[in-house]
Amino acid sequence: QQQVKQSPQSLIVQKGGISIINCAYENTAFDYFPWYQQFPGKGPALLIAIRPDVSEKKEGRFTISFNKSAKQFSLHIMDSQPGDSATYFCAAQSGGSYIPTFGRGTSLIVHP
């Protein structure tokens, strides 16, 4: 059973555009939602994370929007750059579990 559903599977945007990746979850016990970025040949690296007590968190060009009632959260990449081309994974974790559940990933390509 996939507890975290991520979409789209792949995304192509032009340089300077906005990239939007969406995730949805079912388990209301989840209370920590990190996003990871993975480049080819590398392990995933933590990009940004949010807790459900806030609806939005911004770090540079990266913003997480969180909708607790809809059990959805999304990653927005403003002014997308070719260097942002990577696979992005959303994840969800509950305080009682030390183990995050990952989405299937979104392959982002930013064309110059």
Nearer to another protein, 18 or 28 (CB): 28
Is 31 a binder of another protein (CB under 8 A)?
A: yes
Q: Does 29 bind another protein (CB under 8 A)?
A: no
Encoded tokens for 19:
């990239």
Per CB under 8 A, the list member of 14, 41, 53, 70 interacting with another protein is: 41
| C-alpha to C-alpha distance for 16 and 52, rounded to whole angstroms | 29
Q: How far apart are the first and last CA of the chain?
A: 38
Contact call for residue 12 and another protein (CB under 8 A): no
Distance CA 107, CA 26 (A): 23
DSSP 41: T
- Token pair of 65 as six digits: 């929007």
Q: In the set 25, 89, 108, 110, which binds another protein (CB under 8 A)?
A: 89
Out of 6, 19, 63, 80, the only residue in the binding site for another protein (CB under 8 A) is: 6
CB atoms within 10 A of CB 53: 8
Question: Which residues here bind another protein, judged by CB under 8 A?
Answer: 6, 31-32, 34, 36, 41-46, 49, 89, 91, 93, 95, 97-105
